[in-house]
Amino acid sequence: MRLLWQLLAVAAVAFLGGQGLLAVEDNPWLTLLLGLLVAVASVFVYRWVVRRTEKRAVTELAWTGATAATSWGTLLGVGLFALVIVNITFLGGYQVHGLGSPMSALALVGFMAGVAVTEEVMWRGVLFRVIEERAGTWLSLGLTGLAFGLVHMVNPHATLWGAIAIAIEAGGMLTAAYVATRSLWLPIGLHFGWNLAGSALFSTVVSGNGTPEGLLDATMSGHVLVTGGEFGPEGSLYSVVFCVMATAVFMWTARRRGHIVPMRRRHARTADTTTLPR
C-alpha cells in the first residue's frame, strides 16, 4: 500500500509538471522557472509522503551534503556524456557548425532538472528502494532497470536496442549510484548532468525525443551503433561501455561499504521436538 501511495504522489507531481512544461515550452524563462519548481516540488512531496507512510526520517534525501552530492553528480554526468561525444567525433559522427540558441539551452536547464528529479524519486526512491527490501539489491536493480528501459519504448524513434541501452545505462548506472551512496542526490545530479549535456550543450537527440536547440549547432551522422541513430547517443555503444564501467565502480563501492541488500528468505518454522518427561 505504501508503494502505491508513494507512486501516486510522485506521479501526480510529474504529470502536472509535465503538462505545465508543455504549456510554456515556447517561453524559455517560464520553462526554466517551472522546471526548477517541479524539481523542488518533487523533493518535498517525496519527503512528505515517505514520512507519512513509513514514519521515519527520509535519509535518502537528507539536506546535509545535498549540494555537494548533486554538484559532483552533475559534473560526472556531463563528463561521461562529453566522453561519448568525443569518441563519436573522433569517428566523424558528430559535426559542429557553429553556435546554437543560448535561450533554448536555458529553457532546457529547467526542463531537464524537472525530468531528472521526478524520475529519480520515482524509480530509485520509490520503486527500486521498496522492491529491494524484499528482492534484494541485485534482483531489484535488474527488474527496475529493465522496466525503466521498456518505458522508453513509447518515445518517438524508440527501438528495442535503444530500450536495452537505456536499461543498462540509466537503469544500471543511476541505481548503482544510489546503492553506493544510499542517497538520491548523486543519481539526481548524474541524471541531470547527462541529459543537460546531451540537450543544452551538445544539441543531440535525447532518448529519441527530437533534436533540441542547445548551445551548439551540431548534427550527427554515421553507423547507428556509433551515433545511436535517431534515438540519440544513448543508443551508442560508447554510452553503454562507459556507463557499464561507471556502474561497476559504483557497485564495487557499494559492496565495500556494505550497502548490498540480500534477498529476504522465508524460513520455515521448525516444530519443537523436545521430548517431554512422562
Q: Report the distance separating Cα 28 and Cα 108, nearest Å.
A: 8
Q: Report the distance separating Cα 168 and Cα 100, nearest Å.
A: 31
CA distances from 168 to 160, 193, 234, 235, 237 (A): 12, 18, 10, 11, 11
CA distances from 227 to 90, 100, 193, 206 (A): 11, 20, 19, 12
Q: Which residues of the chain, if any, have pLDDT below 70?
A: 266-278
pLDDT of residue 276: 37
| CA–centroid distance for 255 within its chain | 21
**What distance, in Å, lies between the first and last C-alpha atoms of the chain?**
50
> Do the Cβ atoms of 13 and 118 come closer than 8 Å?
yes
pLDDT of residue 271: 39
pLDDT of residue 213: 86
pLDDT of residue 145: 93
Question: What does the domain layout of the chain look like in residue ranges?
Answer: 2-256
Q: Exposed/middle/buried for 104, CB within 10 Å: 0-12, 13-18, 19+?
A: middle
pLDDT of residue 267: 46
- Does the global pTM surpass 0.85? yes
Q: Which amino acid makes up residue 27?
A: N
| CA–centroid distance for 132 within its chain | 17
pLDDT of residue 25: 84
